[in-house]
Amino acid sequence: MKRIPGGEGVGALYSVTLVLARTLFNLLFAIHVEGLEHVPQAGPAIISPNHRSAWDPPVVSTLLERPLYHMAKAELFPRLGFFLRRIGAYPVRRQAVDMHAIRHSLTLLRAGRLICIFPEGHRYADGRLGPGKSGAARLSVQTGAPVIPVGISGRYGLRGRVIFRFGPPVQLFDDDQDPQRVMDAIAALIAGPEQGGIQQ
């Protein structure tokens, strides 16, 4: 599988973890990927997948050569913070709007990084799509970074087939910050071309 070149902003631990994680995930799962050409080779973007499993964040990271930065729940950082920060994670407090996490996201995007935001806000293990939240749309408008929708389907499990479809960028503007546009793009990617969900 052709991967996106890159390697900015993180150190050796990220690279080592990435190689180990790719090896593990390729042993555990039958991963199928489409549309990586939609991920920019340079400059900022917001990767926005649907969220079905705790596997989603690390697996998505292994699909790209460019480092992918993630928000992770703040409760993990007292024990795992040293490691998490070095693999591109940063804390977010989920009980309220976390301005520190938002400012850090803006800093990363303005520095030309890729960040991952799950627009539903939390996992829907039954496979349904939850309502989209406005975080990714607002960050896109404030920075000009495109939102790259990703549809995740299939099932995790030993040699389970998991499909990741990256779609064309969704560009949002001041007068159009509707997160439903991103959710509609994700829904079309999940449906796939066999359902008429993706225009070839």
The amino acid that residue 112 corresponds to is G
Of 6, 59, 54, whose CA–CA distance to 29 is shortest?
Answer: 59
Residue 181's Cβ-side half-sphere holds a number of Cα atoms within 13 Å equal to: 17
Residue 15's Cβ-side half-sphere holds a number of Cα atoms within 13 Å equal to: 8
Residue 109 clears pLDDT 70, i.e. is over it: yes
Q: Which pLDDT value is given to residue 176? A: 66
Which pair of structure tokens corresponds to residue 96? 């309220």
Can you give the pTM of this predicted structure? 0.88
Higher-scoring residue by pLDDT: 95, 194:
95
Residue 8 clears pLDDT 80, i.e. is over it: no
Residue 51 clears pLDDT 60, i.e. is over it: yes
Q: Using 50, 70 and 90 to split pLDDT, how confident is the model at 172?
A: confident
pLDDT tens digit sequence for 77-105: 999 988 998 899 999 887 777 889 999 99
Domain map (residue ranges) of the chain = 12-193
Domain 12-193: top CATH class: alpha beta
Residue 9 clears pLDDT 80, i.e. is over it: no
Q: How far is CA 33 from CA 47, 50, 93, in A?
A: 14, 15, 31
Stretch among 53-62, 85-94, 110-119, 144-153 having the lowest mean pLDDT: 85-94
